[in-house]
């Protein structure tokens, strides 16, 4: 299962329902908003994992937290800690608040959901993305870092997680995920 599917379909759609409740949206609006934001998170994760240091930082962050709780108990996305943690993740993935704002602005155009809501939703989705990766076991064994990309190391696993059609490139899948929600 890829990142988009894990977040949107996790716990039988409970993550979507929680986001809808958090931001007073209907489930369709929440799904559209999330679908417009997740590809940017996927790109950020891919960029982070593309360098040895970034990959090590990502695995370290996954290993230090109990991120899977965000998918196991979507209600935890309504807690302040999820926002704080998510903002920290966004800082690593995007580098600045300006990039996060731009992501929210672009997602607003494609989803029809107000960019102010999307700015607030983005850190929660970052926390949920870390939860999805944690559930896939990406933070359980840092020694897999040594495996590298081609021979089954964590970089390879992460690419496959982001690569829904298994063609070896996650970028087309990320763009495809976005296009489903731009209609």
pLDDT at 178: 44
Decide: helix, strand or coil at residue 128. Answer: helix
Counted domains in the chain: 1
Is 181 in contact with 32 (CB distance < 8 Å)? Answer: yes
| Phi and psi angles of residue 9, each rounded to the nearest 5 degrees, phi first | -110, 0
Say how far apart CA 67 and CA 7 lie, in whole Å: 13
Say how far apart CA 134 and CA 62 lie, in whole Å: 6
| This prediction's pTM | 0.78
Give the residue carrying structure tokens 């999820």.
82
The answer to whether residue 169 scores a pLDDT higher than 90 is no
**Per-residue pLDDT tens over the stretch 33-65:** 999 999 999 989 888 888 888 888 888 888 888
pLDDT at 150: 38
Contacts of 47 (CB under 8 A, 6+ apart): 54, 93
- Mean pLDDT, rounded, for 80-98: 93
Say how far apart CA 162 and CA 156 lie, in whole Å: 10
For residue 136, give both structure tokens.
Answer: 């896939």
Is 86 in contact with 98 (CB distance < 8 Å)? Answer: no
Q: How many other CB atoms are found less than 10 A from the CB of residue 12?
A: 8
**Per-residue pLDDT tens over the stretch 3-30:** 888 899 877 899 999 999 999 999 999 9
Decide: helix, strand or coil at residue 150. Answer: coil
Q: Which domain holds residue 155?
A: 3-182
The answer to whether residue 92 scores a pLDDT higher than 50 is yes
pLDDT at 63: 83
Give the residue carrying structure tokens 């108990």.
73
For residue 174, give both structure tokens.
Answer: 């990320």
Which has more pLDDT, 80 or 3? 80
Give the residue carrying structure tokens 């989803």.
111
Give the residue among 113, 139, 109 at the shortest CA–CA distance from 45: 139
For residue 76, give both structure tokens.
Answer: 């935890």
pLDDT at 16: 95
């Amino acid at each position: 299962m890829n990142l988009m599917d894990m977040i949107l379909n996790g716990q039988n759609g409970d993550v979507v329902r929680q986001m809808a409740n958090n931001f007073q949206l209907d489930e369709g609006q929440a799904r559209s908003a999330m679908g417009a934001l997740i590809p940017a998170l996927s790109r950020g994760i891919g960029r982070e994992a593309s360098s040895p240091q970034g990959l090590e930082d990502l695995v370290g962050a996954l290993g230090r937290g109990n991120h899977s709780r965000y998918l196991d108990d979507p209600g935890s996305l309504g807690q302040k800690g999820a926002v704080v943690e998510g903002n920290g993740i966004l800082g690593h993935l995007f580098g600045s608040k300006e990039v996060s704002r731009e992501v929210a602005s672009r997602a607003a155009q494609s989803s029809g959901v107000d960019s102010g809501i999307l700015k607030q939703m983005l850190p929660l989705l970052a926390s949920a993305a870390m939860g999805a990766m944690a559930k896939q076991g990406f933070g359980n064994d840092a020694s897999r870092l040594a495996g590298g990309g081609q021979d089954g190391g964590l970089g390879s696993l992460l690419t496959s997680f982001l690569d829904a059609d298994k063609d070896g490139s996650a970028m087309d899948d990320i763009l495809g995920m976005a296009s489903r929600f731009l209609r």
